[in-house]
Structure 1
Amino acid sequence: MGASHFCRPHPPTPVCFSCDAELYPFKLREPIPQFLLPLQSGDEEPVVDLAGVLGQVYQEAALDFAIDYSAQPVPTLRERDFQWVQSLREA
């Protein structure tokens, strides 16, 4: 049997499928913005509520029981942001 080869992960590479791509930046403490989903020319673009979708997945998958929110995530947050997240848990 031959030698084992291990793959090393490559750094993320940005992918652009369209030169008309739009970014919707937001900060940790801001809600995820809604956005229009580009479709084929002539089709109406639906509004995507990604925060709502993620919230529903979170509830249905019971992630509050699966994730240790008392520990820093990976990659870690700045300490003041981590404290802010902790305050949300206590509310």
Structure 2
Amino acid sequence: MALLKRDFIPVSKQQNMKPLHYPDCIHLSERCGCDLLSISECKGESCSFCQSAAQQELSQREWLSILNTLGLEQQKKIAGKYYSGKMPWKSQQKKG
């Protein structure tokens, strides 16, 4: 089961704060919307883009590993097509 963020938002001036449960997602905005998608309300764990910070870090490490294991020519093709000729995975590898 995924970790949940517990937020409280006011329902009205007469009522107490109402607890709302949202998934631990890096894209969850302060207004319980989505910073990644153009939607005003979080879809919860059913969202295909729901991603925790740990999942994002793992994905980033896998991305670096895969690109760095490719041959130099293949890396140059990818860099030219998607990164204006730059290879950001090389500088990321040195930082980590």
TM-score (norm: length of structure 1): 0.28
- Structure with the larger helix share: 2
- Structure with the larger strand share: 2
